Amino acid sequence: MGWNSWNHYQLKIDDAMIRAQALALVKSGMKDVGYQYVVIDGGWEGFHDKNGIFHADEARFPDMKALCDYVHGLGLKIGIHTSPGPTTCKGREASFGHEKEDAQTFARWGMDFVKYDWCSGDKVYQPEQMQEAYKKFADAMKSAQRPMVYSLCQYGAQDVWKWGPNVGGQMWRTTGDIADNYNSMMMIAEGQDGLEKYAGPGRWNDPDMLEIGNGGMKPDEYCTQMTLWCILAAPLFAGNDLTNMDAMTRETLTNPEVIAVDQDSAGVQGHRDWQEGPIQVWSKKLHDGSTAIAILNLGRARTAEIKLKDIGLPGNGRVRDLWLHKDLENMQDELHIAVPKHGAVLLKISEH
């Protein structure tokens, strides 16, 4: 869990902005509910010197180690972005030919997370060399002797969920970039169904970052993204301006009962169980034997009427609405619950 600069800022980043976002992550209460990584995406890069050492763009990031120290001083962790190709996706310098030196530089600065983004990789590698390219940087990170989370970003190419752990990854993108609209978000979410067998503790399918708070969706649609990402046990990386959040955005990002579904210790990725018309039901087994149920409405506001046997649940049980922090009446064979347009309800269902 954490925050990444790309969705809101893209290349418009600098030292002061990253410090401000890190401080806001703490002051907003996000740190208290589990957000810990502050990830500097593309836009920090400067050049490699004659000794192969990577320097940040000094006009924007005059002292990367001092920035890492500041973030660590807040009780947070920090990450960075680069590419196995010669340039990033926006044409800035990347790590091809300098993998070992760059991993050592990141470790020396104090980085805790590396997002390795394919970008221009196809300019220097053949398709069959993708795994080799990713393993090369994993080996470089290992030799740097600093624990760093390794996030593979190659948009789901070559069924990465099947080989991501074998090249040292802890998380891997299963999809192209998300856009801040409902159709993009739902297309990505539905594409995760069936990948659950490849996920578990220490190995996570990544459907890309959260758009919550960036303005392209309505509050109920952002609620749906958070609900689905938690059912999917997805990495939760906010991508908004943390220094300027309204109450709804903050509440959507920081609901501890909802986050507990995502961070459940069993590490189960949920799946879609049932659909009738615009109503979908997704479920996820939790470590205490209970089940998290997400009810989505792809159409107009309506009351969802779901027979419990159709989604594999017994005819009675304790029900808690995790968004409303409220216990509901016990179920008796059917579930009747109002779901707004493009909205979601997240329930935790436990046996008596």
pLDDT at 314: 73
CATH number, position 200: 3.20.20.70
Exactly one of 57, 122, 139, 177 is catalytic; which is it?
A: 177
- Rg, Å, the chain Cα set: 21
Same domain, 305 and 187: no
Tell me: do 229 and 303 sit in the same domain. no
What are the CA-CA distances from residue 269 to residues 22, 194, 228 (Å)?
Answer: 29, 10, 10
Same domain, 245 and 297: no
Q: What is the pLDDT of residue 351?
A: 79
Residue ranges of alpha helices (H) inside the chain are 6-9, 15-27, 64-73, 99-109, 130-144, 182-190, 219-231, 247-254, 256-262
28 and 123 in a single domain? The answer is: yes
Domain tally for the chain? 2
pLDDT attached to residue 220: 98
How far apart CA 218 and CA 212 sit, in angstroms, is 9
Is residue 177 part of the annotated active site? The answer reads yes
Name the domain boundary from 205, 231, 262: 262
Residues 134 and 195 occupy one common structural domain = yes
**One domain for residues 31 and 144:** yes
Q: Where residue 309 sits, what CATH number does that domain have?
A: 2.60.40.1180
Helix axes 64-73, 15-27, angle to 10 degrees: 10
Whether residue 222 sits in one domain with residue 192: yes
220 and 332 in one domain?
Answer: no
Catalytic residue among 41, 117, 206, 262: 117
Query: Taking the mean position of all CA atoms in its chain, how far away is CA 15?
Result: 23
Specify whether 192 is located in the same domain as 305. Answer: no
Residue 117 annotated in active site: yes
For residue 309, the model assigns a pLDDT of 84
Q: Is 206 helix (H, G, I), strand (E, B) or coil?
A: strand
State which residues form the domain around 255. Answer: 2-262
94 & 145 share domain: yes
Q: Are 348 and 292 in contact (CB under 8 A)?
A: yes
Do 248 and 331 belong to one domain? no
pTM for the model stands at 0.96
Last residue of a domain, one of 262, 297, 318: 262
pLDDT of 284 reads 97
At residue 286, what is the residue type? L
Tell me: do 189 and 61 sit in the same domain.
yes
Mean pLDDT by groups of 10 residues along the chain of 352 residues: 98 98 98 98 98 97 98 98 97 98 98 98 97 98 97 97 98 98 98 97 98 98 98 98 98 98 98 96 96 97 90 82 92 87 96 71
3-state secondary structure of 297: strand
Which residues are 344's β-sheet partners? 296
Q: Which of 262, 286, 313 marks a domain boundary?
A: 262
